[in-house]
Amino acid sequence: MENVLKILKCPISNQVLVPSQLSGLADNNTLRLKEELATIEDALNEKWDQKGLITPDRKYFYPIIDNIFILLPELCITSTSPQVYDTKWDRQRVQMFYNQFGWKKTADNEAYEDTKIFVDQREIAKEYQVRAEERIKQYLSSGTYLLDIASGALHNERYHNFSRNYQYRVCIDFSITALIEARKNIGSKHGIFILGDITNIPLQDDACDNVISLHTLYHVHKDKQETALKELVRVCKPEANIVIAYNWGWHSLLMNISLLPTRAIKMIRKIINDRMQKSLPKDQLKPTLYFYPHSMSWFNKVKAGNWHIEYNCQKSLHVDFIRLYIHQQLGGEHILKAISDLEDKYPNFFGKYGSFPLIIIRKKDSIGLKGKTDKDVSEAVA
């Protein structure tokens, strides 16, 4: 518990948190959360024993259920008047998608529904996917805490290796289903599991030795992605990498050229579906996934003066491209190998114009890097 408490903070007041039993707080707030906590208890098959964390002024209390820290602001039990939090329907839509569908096993119990949709699972594409995943490791070092924000289910064993050189993998997600599956897949000894929000990360400044955000940021509401980005940088130590696997979506020149008809059809479907979703009451929303990619120029515009940012390639090909063009009888395996080799040789080019870049942000040390330019930092990193 001590190793966890030293990095946590209250997402409302920014105070430290200490262990406590629920006591002396207004009963109406406990009733207000009865339904939400019951849902979490049902998912965990564990009855809440009234244990949790509280701020020193005893105003804000957060439950701990089955060693999962419930640190969403809207699930806080407070002795003051309940606050109103921004819970845009887009966030609820993403949460619903992963709780009800994305992190559920497929009918054959071989994969998760999320993987089935977004990853080509044919043997012909396996090596291309493996090489793309391996590119992440080169930007990670070692230390006590690796933050995996919106960690998901951690079903991929290769992703487990990212935290091999860290004492703890801090898994934060706002899907309780994701955290349940992540704990099964990496174990409680190595993992710290927090129900939290990427736009209001309940961790202290400079708490983590590295941060990874893999295919998450573009599912955050377009107006909140800058907030989420700044939160990732805030919780990472100076001189360390924040590794963001992003999706350029319709900003990818290579995929726009090769998938023009497919992308036009998908865009029309998205517009229609979004309009239908917005017209439905919240209790009738279907678990569809919010998606909005910003451009590279947007990242360059919002970056702070103490950030060094670079764009490299995770993989240049979208799954639609692979499913449409890559087939065994057409030499698909050799085509994918040749493309992977090109991605390794020209990572910056394919990171900027392909489908999935690795956006690497390094927060400069305000003392050690004072007066140095991005070029100086880039040369030091190299």
Q: Where are the domains of the chain?
A: 2-78, 92-381
What would the mean pLDDT of 24-34 be, rounded to a whole number?
Answer: 57
d(CA 202, CA 130): 32
Residues ≥6 apart with Cβ < 8 Å to 236: 147, 206, 208, 209, 210, 211, 242, 363
Does 381 or 339 have the greater pLDDT score?
Answer: 339
Q: Which tops the pLDDT comparison, 328 or 169? A: 169
Q: What is the share, in percent, of the chain residues with pLDDT greater than 90?
A: 51
Of 102 and 267, more confident: 267
- Cα separation, 113 vs 101, in Å, equals 7
Terminal-to-terminal C-alpha distance of the chain: 37
pLDDT tier at 373, thresholds 50, 70, 90? very low
Q: What is the CATH number of domain 92-381?
A: 3.40.50.150
Classify residue 306 as exposed, middle or buried by CB count within 10 Å of its CB (0-12, 13-18, 19+). Answer: middle
Q: Is the pLDDT of residue 379 over 60?
A: no
Residues in the chain: 382
For the residues 29-53, what does the mean pLDDT come to? Answer: 78
Of the pLDDT bands very low, low, confident and very high (cuts 50, 70, 90), residue 63 is very high
Q: How far apart are CA 128 and CA 317, in angstroms?
A: 10
pLDDT in tens, 98-118: 666 656 666 666 666 666 666
The pTM (predicted TM-score) of the whole model is 0.83
Q: Which two tokens stand for residue 260?
A: 């023009």
Q: How confident is the model at residue 17 (pLDDT cuts 50, 70, 90)?
A: very high
Per DSSP, which regions of 174-316 are E strands?
A: 191-195, 210-214, 241-245, 307-315
Q: Which tens digits make up the pLDDT trace of 312-350? A: 999 999 988 998 899 988 899 999 999 999 999 999 999
Mean pLDDT of 152-169: 90
Kindly report, residue by residue over 197-221, the tens digit of the pLDDT.
Answer: 999 999 999 999 999 999 999 999 9
Which residue is associated with the tokens 């005893």? 58
What is the percent of the chain where pLDDT is above 70? 77
Contact partners, residue 326, CB within 8 Å, separation at least 6: 120, 124, 125, 332, 335, 336
- Provide the 10 A C-beta neighbour count for residue 127: 13
